[in-house]
């Protein structure tokens, strides 16, 4: 099972991908188009030309997970652009459930407050 957490980096390929590609073809896109290391634990999200399906690719330390979801009707909301885009875990969840992830307000990422030592 894949667990997407708030601290994970999520990259979306905004351009459509040929879904005849398998894991190896998507890995090549991760390296060349998204310019990211597929072994880094980054979650990669792709859609097909008509935006009726999406694929999520992630490395879990032992191997690659490739998840595929196809809608029975409608299309996925998809960002416009010509490069990779980052999403929060909450936005990815909204995207997978076919809700527009760009109309929700997400909280700012949590930042740890630096601690100071009590050494004199």
Closest by CA position to 36, among listed 17, 16, 11: 11
pLDDT, residue 96, reads 87
Chain centre distance of CA 77:
14
Q: What per-residue confidence (pLDDT) applies to 56?
A: 95
- Per-residue model confidence (pLDDT) at position 1: 63
Low-confidence ranges of the chain (pLDDT < 50): none
Q: What is the pTM of this model?
A: 0.81
Distance CA 31, CA 53 (A): 22
Rg, Å, the chain Cα set: 16
Question: How confident is the model at residue 18, as a pLDDT?
Answer: 94
pLDDT at position 101 is 79
C-alpha span between 55 and 16 (Å, rounded): 11
Whole-angstrom distance, CA of residue 8 vs CA of residue 39: 13
Strands 10-13 and 84-87: antiparallel
Quick one: which H or E segment has residue 23?
A: helix 23-32
Residue ranges per structural domain of the chain: 10-96
d(C-alpha 65, C-alpha 51), whole Å: 21
């Amino acid at each position: 099972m894949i667990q997407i957490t708030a601290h994970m980096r999520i990259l979306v390929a905004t351009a459509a991908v040929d879904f005849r590609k398998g894991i190896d073809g998507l890995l090549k896109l991760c390296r060349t188009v998204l310019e990211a290391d597929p072994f880094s634990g980054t979650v990669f999200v792709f859609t097909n030309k008509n935006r009726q399906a999406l694929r999520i690719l992630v490395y879990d330390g032992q191997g690659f997970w490739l998840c595929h979801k196809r809608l029975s009707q409608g299309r996925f909301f998809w960002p416009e652009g010509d490069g990779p885009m980052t999403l929060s875990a909450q936005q990815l969840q909204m995207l997978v459930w076919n809700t527009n992830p760009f109309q929700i307000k997400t909280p700012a990422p949590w930042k740890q407050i630096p601690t100071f030592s009590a050494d004199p």
